[in-house]
Structure 1
Amino acid sequence: MNEVNTRKRTLGVNFNINGLANAVLWAPDAEHVEILLIFQNIKIPLVREEYGYWILETDLLSPEDQYWFVLNGVKSLADPASLSQPEGVHGPSKAIDLNAYKWTDTNWKNIPLKEFITYELHTGTFTPNGTFASMEAKLDYLVDLGITAVELMPVSQFSGERNWGYDGVFPFCVQHSYGGAQALQHLVNVCHQKGLAVILDVVYNHIGPEGNCLGEFAPYFTDKYSTPWGKAINFDDAWCDGVRLFFIENALMWFRDFHIDALRMDAVHAIKDFSPVHILQEIKQQVDFLEQESGRCHYLIVELDLNDTRFINTVDKGGYGMNAQWVDEFHHALRVSSGQEKSGYYSDFNGIQSLAKAYRDAYVYDGAYSDHRKKKFGIKAKENTGEQFVVFSQNHDHVGNRMLGERTSELVSFDMQKLMAGAVLASPYLPMLFMGEEYSETGRFQYFVSHTDTELAEAVRKGRKKEFQAFHMAGEAPDPMGVEAFEKSKLHWDLIEKPPHNTMLAYYKKLIEIRKNQSALSVLNRKDLDVECFENKEVIILRRQHRIQEVIGLMNFSNKPQDVHVAVYSPVWHKLIASSDVLWNGSEDLPETLSGEITLVLPAQSFTLYTNQYE
């Protein structure tokens, strides 16, 4: 085996056009492999093939049947490529026919990446019921907000019913408590009907701790490397071909069988691979083949704690070919600019000076010395386009990895929240919102798990406590095992009807509308951009241009009014938005029009946009 089939899923249990079940299991060290059909209470032996694969074709296994794989007549284990775990990570697998779902999105065409305005959400806390089905009722809200892409935090099966998703142990299996595989297919189908692209967060850098049985079957892990979350996945050691195929098929499955539009690949800097062709590059190659066959377009977006363009450069330029990456440094610089503390890795950032560099260069550290890292860090990204970088003012990590899970709404003023929103949406990069920020959600988003292993649960508690020592935080972190942390993290949808939350929601809608309709903002051209930083005033002036249109962004991060002068002439400057206007719960209205050069007194903690013409 070890050859990729982009047309269909081959690993695990699948059903062919004749209704027969095909089982494929990789277990190179096994002497004997059977499949145990639980309802019939019978065992059927598999036949050994080359490279350690075992295969079977049978009419005795049907969709919805539960089964185990049995190794050497002794150990009954769930399918590593299981599609359903109705009894959780310690229970048997359930066979599913992925082709049974009747799609109606034939005419769907993926949105160009440059048009992505992404909304990151956690399925379990986005709605009171925490399911894919209940999420569908909120899709019109997201469309009305102006969102174009919905990003789901990981949905692969994890232990229990409460988890961020990064502890998944069955990469092919959709979390049962969310609704399972067909419910996810239905959600994606409905999203496409409403014009929304779907991004799925996947984890290829580690496997969760509880219920992880991959190592029982084959050398999925290696001792050559380590990760912060446990054993490293074996992408380049002995027997790595089977591991690589496993994860390549996983990526293809989401695109082909679930019609996912983009994958957000978690912490790829923790993937260790010194193969001649990096696993990310090989995934990209296979996705390209899939696109040629299907005619559909798919994107690969990576979370990357490295300022290294090799990941997002095309293969012909020596890169891995990923379409875009998250840029945490923009977030860090914006956070410090807003007056928040500079502890931990935030200590490397100098407020608006760093933010201005992020606007200009994408990477704040592109070869300069990082005191936090104690070394020179990063390379320049001059030739990379704006659509290759995803920016945000908050996300699940930077909220939930705070000890208490405070959102920006709890950490800064209402005015500063509006300024931070404008700073993101006026950038020449892909903007992302974290669920609830658009209406200034006041509830916290905390870290939560539901491990049933008591030793593991205690280890998680101790690990969280140790993590916060680096930030010199006093007090006790909420118990991640407690149901309270999960319940408190659910959105409070009743807030959107109440002031000032309804005002913030309207403000976000207007910002997104402006970004879409003004070509100087929607065209992500990093070349036609200029940024000035006035450290003594804590003011940034951002100029973006497309053809004859110019948009001027004026950001005052200080706590007092500041005089600004922009020496760019236009017969008339039209106000697009001013966060200080009374309409947005501000203190004063700025002029609707200005003539000649822009001279203004910017109110404290304000964001303002003027343009030389309407489009």
Structure 2
Amino acid sequence: MGSIPYSGGTTFRVWAPNATKVYVAGDFNGWSQATSPLVSEGNGNWSVDFRNATINQQYKYVIWNGSSQLWKNDARAQQVTASNGNTVIADPRFDWTDDLYSTPAWNDLVIYEMHVGTFNDTYGGLPGDFDNVILKLDYLQDLGINAIEVMPVNEFPGDFSWGYNMSHPFAIESVYGGSQAYKRFVNAAHVRGIAILQDVVFNHYGPTDLDLWQYDGWHQNFMGGIFFYNDERASTPWGDTRPDYGRSEVRQYIRDNSLFWLEDYHADGLRVDGTSWIRSVYGGGSYELPDGWSLMQWINNEVDARQGWKFIVAEDMQNNAWMTKTTGAGGAGFDSQWSAQFVHPIRSNIITSVDSNRNMWEVRDAISQRYNSDAFERIIFTESHDEVANGKMRVPEEIWPGNSGSWYSRKRSTLGAALVMTSPGVPMIFQGQEILENGYFADNDPIDWSKLNTYSGIHTLYSDLIKLRRNWYDNTRGLRGQNLNVHHVNDTDKVIAFHRWDTGGNGDDVIVILNMSNKTYPEYIIGFPSGGTWQVRFNSDSSIYSGDYGNYGSSSVNAVSGQWDGMPYNGALSIGPYSAMILSKD
């Protein structure tokens, strides 16, 4: 489907079941609207082979429905001149050099959510593009990041957008550089060992500059026509543009789009936006859409059968374990999902200004929550594009509005980072979080990279956490494991400690302790799973991270025999205010 170039010409094929005639008009025929007819295949599809139609030439379809004439872009356009412009015959060729690359293991992923237009840009003029992003991939690699979740990059109206208002589901945003630039970006990331997880939107399209709307002239109830529901099921918070998940051709369209990212563009996975709006008319609860559920199952089954190592994530936010159950068990079959049960209690407990209001039992439950007994079926974070906009701000800004660089903002926001990197789950940070970016996210507000110098210590803190999470030094293997025991919860003194492990033993068992109060504890006793010397691998109060930190805390702990916290051994350590420590044995 779409335009498929070959030596000497191009095949054009389009789905327009209610059309009475279809023509193609473009650079190759002087934009004649009546000299190049497509032939009906008798199944709703129309096609023609056109000699001398070549790559980079522009075109549109001229679709007739009775006496009505419509000029439409290709529904499967891979390149357009603009959201309201023409389709371009895209060049499918690319010199991929990622043959030696393999997607990281899911329990090793550390995700960096990115918005292409603001990640590496300056104020004024056009937004940033893929080539700008490529310039900072070495930075992300040095940080320890091995996966980038890219906010939607489909063609959208205008030049500035979050990306969730796509006009052309198969086309790459032209202001970002188009399809060839996207391939360069993916290839460059893979060469550095970085996976690409592409954010996709199937719960609605548009709603503006949307050529899919009444595509072949047919519609009911003045609604969207062949690609959309034409009754109350079309309604979403973003317009009456929910695709018709029950129509076989639309299901195929969405399935093909999913595989297109993974196979043609070499993406390592997908983040499927707002899945509750695919499975339900109202985003959860009543009025379910069984066809939406079965569509998600079909796509996940297809990916598992074709490229089972690729990572498909749901953004459902409804605490629904069925999203990540297997399709054989009746689940939707996603590999993981964003966890509202982590982000919301953790944010509230690090943002509140009064220590006595921190609820360590809520923190314990956030650390412990998982789906279907699998630690990696959830994505955990304290910042995302949704959590730092829509009336909310970056965590340091929430802690002290207008003074995000304050000691309190730095100390407590990085408590959140420590929890993200040490709790069971797949950790994710949002662009600029590692340099204490302030304010809120907007699509015309680039990351202020001068903060990399201002808060170089905070950047180092994030890098240290990420590398411990990924077991770079082969002494924190348990942070990649399934096992957890939150063995110490002190809601009076606001201290929590937990044990992480994979198979157990030296270099595997990890103890994490957090002091979530503005107090110093010179001799705090917690339980340990084994005796001997436990080395402090990370202390967020280290002056390495900021000159005004107290550098307070033990460098090692000697665990001695004696029951404590349900553990066979115990040890005393010192810990600074609003501080996290990570310990393991050599």
Task: With the length of structure 2 as denominator, give the TM-score of the two structures.
Answer: 0.85
Structure 2 SS opposite 1:172 = strand
Q: Distance in 2 between the 1:513 and 1:573 partners?
A: 19
What are the within-5 Å matches in structure 2 for residues 9-408 of structure 1?
11-16=1-6, 18-38=7-27, 40-43=30-33, 44-72=36-64, 74-86=69-81, 88-98=82-92, 100-128=93-121, 130-217=128-215, 218-222=225-229, 223-225=231-233, 226-237=235-246, 240-272=247-279, 273-275=289-291, 278-291=294-307, 297-340=309-352, 351-362=359-370, 381=371, 383-402=372-391, 406-408=393-395
Q: Distance in 1 between the 2:482 and 2:174 partners?
A: 43
Q: Is the 8 A contact 1:126 1:491 kept in 2?
A: yes
More divergent stretch after superposition (312-321 vs 246-255): 312-321
In structure 2, the partner of 1:436 is 432
Q: Deviations over 1:384-408 (max 9, x none)?
A: 31121111110111002226xx322
- Give the 3 Å change call, closer, same or farther, for CA 13–496 of structure 1 in structure 2: same
Structure 2 SS opposite 1:410 = helix
Kindly state the Cα deviation for residue 522 of structure 1 after the two structures are TM-superposed.
5.1
Kindly state the Cα deviation for residue 436 of structure 1 after the two structures are TM-superposed.
0.6
| Percent identical residues | 28
Q: Deviations over 1:313-355 (max 9, x none)?
A: 122222222111111221111111113499xxxxxx9743222
In structure 2, the partner of 1:557 is 516
Q: Distance in 2 between the 1:418 and 1:231 partners?
A: 41
**Aligned residue type for 2:211:** C
Q: Is the 8 A contact 2:422 2:469 kept in 1?
A: yes
Kindly state the Cα deviation for residue 286 of structure 1 after the two structures are TM-superposed.
2.1
What are the within-5 Å matches in structure 2 for residues 536-615 of structure 1?
536-546=492-502, 547-548=504-505, 549-562=508-521, 564-568=524-528, 569-585=530-546, 586-596=549-559, 597-611=570-584, 613-614=585-586
Q: Distance in 1 between the 2:509 and 2:368 partners?
A: 16
Structure 1 SS opposite 2:85 = coil
Query: Gaps spanning 5+ residues in structure 1: where?
Result: 1-10, 343-348, 363-380, 449-485
Q: Is the 8 A contact 1:301 1:325 kept in 2?
A: yes
Q: Distance in 1 between the 2:2 and 2:352 partners?
A: 49
Q: Distance in 2 between the 1:247 and 1:56 partners?
A: 24
In structure 2, the partner of 1:452 is none
Q: Distance in 1 between the 2:363 and 2:178 partners?
A: 42
Q: Distance in 2 between the 1:219 and 1:107 partners?
A: 43
- Give the 3 Å change call, closer, same or farther, for CA 528–445 of structure 1 in structure 2: closer
**Aligned residue type for 1:417:** S
Structure 1 SS opposite 2:347 = helix
In structure 2, the partner of 1:7 is none
Q: Distance in 2 between the 1:589 and 1:146 partners?
A: 26
Structure 1 SS opposite 2:537 = strand
**Higher normalized helix content (fraction of residues):** 1
Task: With the length of structure 1 as denominator, give the TM-score of the two structures.
Answer: 0.81
Kindly state the Cα deviation for residue 542 of structure 1 after the two structures are TM-superposed.
1.6
Kindly state the Cα deviation for residue 566 of structure 1 after the two structures are TM-superposed.
0.9
Q: Deviations over 1:249-288 (max 9, x none)?
A: 1111111111111111111111033139711111122223
Kindly state the Cα deviation for residue 201 of structure 1 after the two structures are TM-superposed.
0.6
Q: Is the 8 A contact 1:82 1:172 kept in 2?
A: yes
Instruction: Note if 1:411 corresponds to 2:418.
Output: no
Structure 2 SS opposite 1:513 = helix
Q: Deviations over 1:420-452 (max 9, x none)?
A: 111110011110110111111235422x5xxxx
In structure 2, the partner of 1:511 is 465
Q: Distance in 1 between the 2:244 and 2:364 partners?
A: 38
- Give the 3 Å change call, closer, same or farther, for CA 350–310 of structure 1 in structure 2: farther
**Aligned residue type for 1:92:** N
RMSD of aligned residue pairs (Cα, Å): 2.2
Q: Deviations over 1:147-204 (max 9, x none)?
A: 0011111000000000000011111000000000000001111111111111111101
Number of aligned residue pairs: give it. Answer: 525
Q: Is the 8 A contact 2:108 2:480 kept in 1?
A: no
Q: Is the 8 A contact 1:84 1:95 kept in 2?
A: yes
**Aligned residue type for 1:228:** P
More divergent stretch after superposition (22-31 vs 268-277): 268-277
Kindly state the Cα deviation for residue 595 of structure 1 after the two structures are TM-superposed.
1.1
Q: Distance in 1 between the 2:464 and 2:18 partners?
A: 60
In structure 2, the partner of 1:375 is none
Kindly state the Cα deviation for residue 495 of structure 1 after the two structures are TM-superposed.
2.0
- Give the 3 Å change call, closer, same or farther, for CA 150–390 of structure 1 in structure 2: same
Structure 2 SS opposite 1:584 = coil
Q: Distance in 1 between the 2:353 and 2:303 partners?
A: 42
- Give the 3 Å change call, closer, same or farther, for CA 276–507 of structure 1 in structure 2: closer
Query: Gaps spanning 5+ residues in structure 2: where?
Result: 122-126, 216-224, 280-288, 400-408, 560-569
Structure 1 SS opposite 2:60 = strand
What are the within-5 Å matches in structure 2 for residues 487-502 of structure 1?
489-498=445-454, 501-502=455-456
- Give the 3 Å change call, closer, same or farther, for CA 339–133 of structure 1 in structure 2: closer
Q: Is the 8 A contact 1:503 1:584 kept in 2?
A: yes
Structure 2 SS opposite 1:141 = helix
Structure 2 SS opposite 1:536 = coil
